[in-house]
Structure 1
């Protein structure tokens, strides 16, 4: 015989079923897939709380309801505040995963502007101005004031703020390296170290040669010889950009504050932005008697202590170029 449930039991069972359905809906709304159909960049402003962030998430269609997100976050989310920054939220990310990302449990979307070693400041400015996610304008900074590196920035950040970080990094790095300089460096000031390091940076593409090139130019400075560094001829013409042709005889003979073929000593300023390793090379030059160098065809140089030896190296270099059809 089938027994019928009494009214109270029926109501209790109905309430239980409704509760289970609500709990399932509540959990699915937290752990189930979200509405976003593509990966989206999302920015959390500095100091923003859950209410502001939930509203922005709803506005961008990344969650269904700001109020439901806040409630679930308080009941089901992990402890911890939101991190400021720009984040990459995957397509169909659940509310639970979104909160975890915004709390820093997954990676922040790092937007970078990279300044390679030896990039002149006119091209640093061009690179900053070409970044569409930055705001404002910047003038060309002095060469030698920017430390080559990769710098993170946030969408909408000012170009001036990013440039300031680059220059602060150079100031700190230079101060650190200057304090550890060798006693035999020819640089009398940190600025002289940067000026000579800029020449070293432009004269060799081989990291292993930097200290040797620094040692050679240090010897020339001590002996009162012309540095005769080709990049110092080019700098007043292009502000450090590639010349795109051979140097003219009139340019070799030009008298200005940079051309080290017509002046003894260092140029009046840096001709590019040298990296940390080139600055370190100048402050810890190789112990060498070398006074001359010429390209060897491999990206490096042949070094010589006498003019006669140097002339032989130059003859070999021209013969190599002629064999390659470059002359």
Structure 2
């Protein structure tokens, strides 16, 4: 009899063990397997929240199938105390394990509101953007001039939200004065820029910042990046160039940057200036003349006068030989690379063609025909 009881107890124990192992295996597959989320969501984790609240939110959003398994899994991985506040993009089909990693790994928010300050050649703009989880693309909701008298309420609300991301987006071709002036206009940066950075030595790019970032620290980042880009481009330069130093390459790149906004033209524009330098021809480029008038402090806002084209200044390339003494703007990587690796052509001239690009020419006769065509286009536009 006792043997029968013991045998039955052992059998029950084995069955229970097998059942427990099955449950654990099922829970494990639920935790690590693809989740039920049909479309990506932006998960907001409030400061002071816990995994219980997060699991409730995820269950309500249809992102997890079992809140208990989610919490037990986080506890088993010893991540319960590592929960971070913020807004996090949870992709379609994310497993519980992946979601736990997303909300505990740290770093800035990956979705929600983003404040982007765009520093442009003609104007500056602060944009508020919201990430659409379904497309993983930002949609602009508010835009305004940071120097405007009235600041949108949406921006004031965003500034009070510690979960918002901030970026400074610097366009190619802006001057150092424009960058400093723009940075001084925003309220989420601190510090006074004591000295204007050298022209050309700020890398156009998008820089993520935090509220309270020192302006001088940001400018130092821009300078460091531009120095790296210039050094790399110079090390990989073509042979036989009519420029002798990285500084001269930067000057030439800035002229290329200001002469064309068409990416495909940079190599050709670079070849024109390279050919002119080789032949001892004056560069005769309007952007350098304009810089000599404005000192890089904003745009001229009008056409050049004949008296300005004849006036002798260090930047008037209709008068001086070779390159001006400094860059005339902050060129991007593509223009720097074009300056040191221009296309191989026999082009010597170019003029606007009415489409946003340029008509290139090898001879003065051909160039004069292109100029006449451009004058015709200008006249037609003036009469419209």
Shared fold (TM-score greater than 0.5)? yes
What is the aligned counterpart of 1:117 among 146, 150, 172?
172
- Of residues 249-258 and 288-297 in structure 1, the stretch that sits farther from structure 2 once superposed is 249-258
Task: Report the alpha carbon displacement of residue 82 of structure 1 after superposing the two structures with TM.
Answer: 8.5
Contact persistence 2:86–2:108 (CA under 8 A):
no
What is the aligned counterpart of 1:283 among 326, 329, 340?
340
Aligned counterparts of 1:198 and 1:107: Cα–Cα separation in 2: 35
Task: Report the alpha carbon displacement of residue 128 of structure 1 after superposing the two structures with TM.
Answer: 1.3
The answer to which structure, 1 or 2, has the higher relative contact order (CA under 8 A, 6+ apart) is 1
Aligned counterparts of 2:241 and 2:256: Cα–Cα separation in 1: 14
Per the alignment, residue 78 of structure 1 pairs with: 79
Q: For 1:178-257, list aligned pairs within 5 A.
A: 178-240=234-296, 241-257=298-314
In the comparison of the two structures, how many residue pairs are matched? 254
Runs of 5+ consecutive residues of structure 2 not aligned to the other structure:
1-48, 56-73, 89-98, 112-163
The alpha-carbon distance between structure 1 residues 79 and 187, as it changes in their structure 2 partners (threshold 3 A), is farther
Contact persistence 1:77–1:99 (CA under 8 A):
no
Say which SS state the counterpart of residue 359 (structure 2) adopts: strand
Task: Report the alpha carbon displacement of residue 156 of structure 1 after superposing the two structures with TM.
Answer: 1.0
Aligned counterparts of 2:83 and 2:321: Cα–Cα separation in 1: 58
1:72-113 Cα shifts (integer Å, max 9, x gaps): x99996179789xxx7458xxxxx989935734963854110
Q: For 1:274-313, list aligned pairs within 5 A.
A: 274-313=331-370
Task: Report the alpha carbon displacement of residue 321 of structure 1 after superposing the two structures with TM.
Answer: 1.4
Contact persistence 1:118–1:273 (CA under 8 A):
yes
Contact persistence 1:185–1:285 (CA under 8 A):
no
Contact persistence 2:51–2:80 (CA under 8 A):
no
Contact persistence 1:195–1:269 (CA under 8 A):
yes
Contact persistence 1:219–1:289 (CA under 8 A):
yes
Contact persistence 2:350–2:359 (CA under 8 A):
yes
Task: Report the alpha carbon displacement of residue 208 of structure 1 after superposing the two structures with TM.
Answer: 0.3
Per the alignment, residue 164 of structure 1 pairs with: 220
Runs of 5+ consecutive residues of structure 1 not aligned to the other structure:
1-27, 35-72, 91-95
Say which SS state the counterpart of residue 117 (structure 1) adopts: coil
Runs of 4+ residues over 3 Å off in structure 1: 73-77, 79-83, 87-90, 96-99
The alpha-carbon distance between structure 1 residues 325 and 283, as it changes in their structure 2 partners (threshold 3 A), is same
- Of residues 138-147 and 105-114 in structure 1, the stretch that sits farther from structure 2 once superposed is 105-114
The alpha-carbon distance between structure 1 residues 155 and 215, as it changes in their structure 2 partners (threshold 3 A), is same
